[in-house]
Structure 1
């Protein structure tokens, strides 16, 4: 692949594209917010608010390694606005599921990011 395979899209346009596509990849009742990362042009900040009585909120940093591959890292987990320990089984399962959804979203946007 080499150096030609970097991202060639404005971070604001990329965030808007993710904001359009990601809701189709997560549960219908969940909501998400996608914004450009202020410190990295090839990264996005994604917050997923999980519906249900638990009121979990997952914050991810999604970094484009190249035009196709993303690295999703969990930044924070909150429950009803309070930081919680992300090492519990239920939260690990949520992180795993939503990380997969983030990768699916990146794949769905290939034609946009791999110009």
Structure 2
């Protein structure tokens, strides 16, 4: 990442902006928690919890490649606090859905990350 295209916002402020914005881009019955990644100042940790009886929890790493683009990686999927097989169709569909919502949130926050 070159200096001109780097993030111009602190990691804590970025996490707070994501925490305010992401709930508006995911399903209204789901919940999200966004925290700074302590190991990398360009990265956020995003946990999305599904509503209803499924009780899935998806942990993502969201790393800024530049001020506009994020790289989203799935860290773990849990159900009732236990890791589950991520290869099932329903889990893969949810992962794709949440990844899309995370990218939408990054686009929404472009004015903040590029300020």
> Shorter-chain-normalised TM-score: which range?
over 0.9
Residue 52 of structure 1: how far off its partner (Å): 1.2
Q: Which runs of 4+ in 1 moved over 6 A?
A: none
Q: Secondary structure at the match of 2:46?
A: strand
Helix, strand or coil at the partner of 2:59: strand
Q: Residue 88 of structure 1 corresponds to which residue in structure 2?
A: 88
Cα distance in 1 for residues equivalent to 2:36 and 2:52: 27
- TM-score normalised to structure 2 length: 0.97
Q: Identify unmatched segments of 5+ residues in structure 2.
A: none
Match of 2:19 in 1: 19
How far the C-alpha of 1:8 sits from its partner, in A, is 1.2
| Deviation by residue 1:63-106 (Cα, 9 ceiling, x = unmatched) | 00000000010000001111001011000000000000000000
Rounded to whole Å, the distance in 2 between the matches of 1:82 and 1:7 is 35
Per-residue CA shift, 1:18-62, capped at 9, x if unaligned? Answer: 000000000111111000000000100000000011100000000
- Correspondence for 1:33: 33
Structure 1: segments with no counterpart, 5+ residues: none
Calculate the aligned-residue CA RMSD, in Å.
Answer: 1.1
| TM superposition shift of 1:2 | 4.8
Aligned residues: 115
SS in 2 for 1:87: coil
Deviation at 1:3, TM superposition (A): 3.8
